[in-house]
Amino acid sequence: MNSKEFIKALDNIILEKGISKDVVYDAMELALATAYKKNFGSKTNVKVKIDRNTGDIRVLSYYVVVDDYDDGVDSVDEEGNAIHIPPEINPDAQILLEEAREIDPTIEIGETIEKEVTPKDFGRVAASTAKQVLTQKIREAERENIMAEFHDKQGEMMMGLLAMEDQKNYYVDLGKSRGIMAKSEIIPGETLKMGTNVRVYITKVEETPKGPLILCSRKHYGFVKRLFETEIPELVDGTIELYSVIREPGVRSKVAVYSNDEKVDPVGACIGERGSRIASILKELNGEKIDVILYDKDPVKFITNALSPAKDIKVTIKDENKKEALAVVGDNNLSLAIGKRGQNVKLASRLTHYKIEVKSQSAVDEENAEEVEASEK
């Protein structure tokens, strides 16, 4: 392959991979200068120039013009020991005025001159170096392109292909890169099949020495949030606002929404006609229950709503500073308010930021009766 063919092939690869031409050529010139010093034992300052059009490579060595070679002087120190004082200019970087003027007739002593020192067999070194530089630059460019594409994807939901798995992780093909989803990050109880498309939430995008690291999840609360935005356009255009999402993956999520437009029913819009919108979300979440809650600035109303699906609830704020509340529910709603293993009241507490104590109406009536009886004694 001659120089022109080499340059054409190089330019095609640069164009295909989307790499900066100047970056590649500058890197090659630096690498070739290093390779020249290593392979040909040069002790002078050298510079390599590659003609961007012809592909011709020239190695230039820099010399300081002198009237006579200076190797330094031998002397003795204060204690009488023989020493050698080196010259101000490296002897290997000196050139006599007579020789320098064969290159540039106008050159003067003390000036610097370029002298071409390109070896005859330098093409072999150049080809090997070009391959190494190009491989490195392609790898760097691909990493930069991936980081540029995925940098803004953190906190977003993407569709990917389940490409492979090992003992700990699933690997999701996201197009130009592959995301890693730990098996602990899938929805509890769901089964994922290789070769199928799957929605994932991007939890982290980070540059590492081995390339971009993209971490994915399906159990993150943000996954539910993005699913709602996908299925409910009013959340995207701002008609409905999403206040907060609290989740127990695979079991239940509570999503608080509101609207500044009194004519809009935010809860109804999220559920959809005959549950059409929420059904799509439930299917994606493998049957995980979802309570769509109406957010209210009044903590009493908000806590009442947050304890859904329980009804017949009376809420009292016990201590505003400590964020403590009491919810009294009808006996037939007690189990719903508390939830299995206390899950419902725990999620409601996290959603409202209040520590909620739940009591049945009969228990409160009994306590009140005991207090009355005690006061009468």
Examine the pLDDT at 258 and tell me if it is beyond 90.
yes
Counting beta carbons within 10 angstroms of the beta carbon of residue 197, is it exposed (0 to 12), middle (13 to 18) or buried (19 or more)?
exposed
Identify the domain containing residue 162 by its residue range.
Answer: 157-216
Query: Strand, helix or coil at 216?
Result: strand
Q: What is the mean pLDDT of residues 51-58?
A: 83
The CATH number covering residue 94 comes to 3.30.1480.10
Are 50 and 117 in a shared domain?
yes
- Phi, then psi, of 205 in degrees rounded to 5: -130, 120
Of 90-104, 174-188, 263-277, the least confident:
90-104
Cis peptide bond upstream of 309, omega within 30: yes
The DSSP code for 331 is G
Q: What is the CA radius of gyration of the chain?
A: 37
Examine the pLDDT at 363 and tell me if it is beyond 70.
yes
Are 19 and 75 in a shared domain?
yes
Domain membership flag for residue 195: yes
- Split at pLDDT 50, 70, 90, the class of 237 is very high
User: Beta 355-360 vs 324-329: how paired, if at all?
Assistant: parallel
Are 90 and 18 in a shared domain?
yes
Say what the pLDDT of residue 136 is: 79
pLDDT in tens, 154-163: 999 999 999 9
Contact yes or no for 193/164 (Cβ under 8 A): no
What's the total number of domains in the chain? 4
Q: How far apart, in Å, are the Cα atoms of 261 and each of 234, 235, 240, 258, 296?
A: 12, 13, 8, 9, 14
Query: Listing from the earlier edge strand, what are the strands of the sheet with 355-360?
Result: 313-319, 324-329, 355-360
Say what the pLDDT of residue 92 is: 74
Say what the pLDDT of residue 147 is: 81
Q: Please say which residue of 146, 166, 196 terminates a domain.
A: 146
Cβ count within 10 A of residue 144:
15
Helical spans, DSSP H, in 104-239: 122-150, 221-231, 233-237
In terms of pLDDT, which residue wins out, 16 or 200? 200
Contact yes or no for 140/95 (Cβ under 8 A): no
Residues 35 and 132: their CA atoms lie apart, in Å, by 12
Quote the tokens at residue 236: 């995207």
Domain membership flag for residue 62: yes
Q: What is the mean pLDDT of residues 189-194?
A: 92
Cβ count within 10 A of residue 161:
15
Are 375 and 290 in a shared domain?
no
Say what the pLDDT of residue 73 is: 57
Average pLDDT taken over every residue of the chain = 86
Q: Please say which residue of 216, 242, 262 terminates a domain.
A: 216
Tell if the pTM clears 0.95, that is, is over it.
Answer: no
Say what the pLDDT of residue 3 is: 66
pLDDT in tens, 265-306: 999 999 998 899 999 999 999 889 999 999 999 999 999 999
Are 275 and 373 in a shared domain?
no
pLDDT in tens, 114-161: 888 888 877 777 777 777 777 777 777 777 777 877 888 899 999 999
Are 17 and 142 in a shared domain?
yes
Query: Strand, helix or coil at 90?
Result: coil
Query: Strand, helix or coil at 61?
Result: strand
Examine the pLDDT at 214 and tell me if it is beyond 60.
yes
Domain membership flag for residue 152: no
Domain membership flag for residue 151: no
The CATH number covering residue 261 comes to 3.30.300.20
Of 40-44, 103-107, 227-231, 347-351, the least confident:
40-44
Where b means 16+ CB within 10 Å and e means fewer, 9-24 reads ebeeebeeeebeeeeb
Return the bridge partners of 113, or none.
63
Q: What is the mean pLDDT of residues 106-120?
A: 86
Are 204 and 287 in a shared domain?
no
Domain membership flag for residue 41: yes
Residues 251 and 212: their CA atoms lie apart, in Å, by 33
The DSSP code for 184 is G
Say what the pLDDT of residue 100 is: 86
Examine the pLDDT at 369 and tell me if it is beyond 90.
no
Contact yes or no for 111/65 (Cβ under 8 A): yes
Domain membership flag for residue 235: yes
Q: What is the mean pLDDT of residues 334-361?
A: 94
- Split at pLDDT 50, 70, 90, the class of 76 is low
Contact yes or no for 74/83 (Cβ under 8 A): yes
Q: What is the 3-state secondary structure (H, E, C) of 155-167?
A: CCEEEEEEEEECC
Cβ count within 10 A of residue 120:
5
Residues 44 and 61: their CA atoms lie apart, in Å, by 6
Q: What amino acid occupies position 163?
A: A
Are 11 and 142 in a shared domain?
yes
Are 104 and 31 in a shared domain?
yes
Are 119 and 21 in a shared domain?
yes
Domain membership flag for residue 126: yes
Examine the pLDDT at 84 and tell me if it is beyond 60.
no
Say what the pLDDT of residue 2 is: 60
Are 322 and 359 in a shared domain?
yes
Q: What is the mean pLDDT of residues 315-320?
A: 93
The CATH number covering residue 175 comes to 2.40.50.140
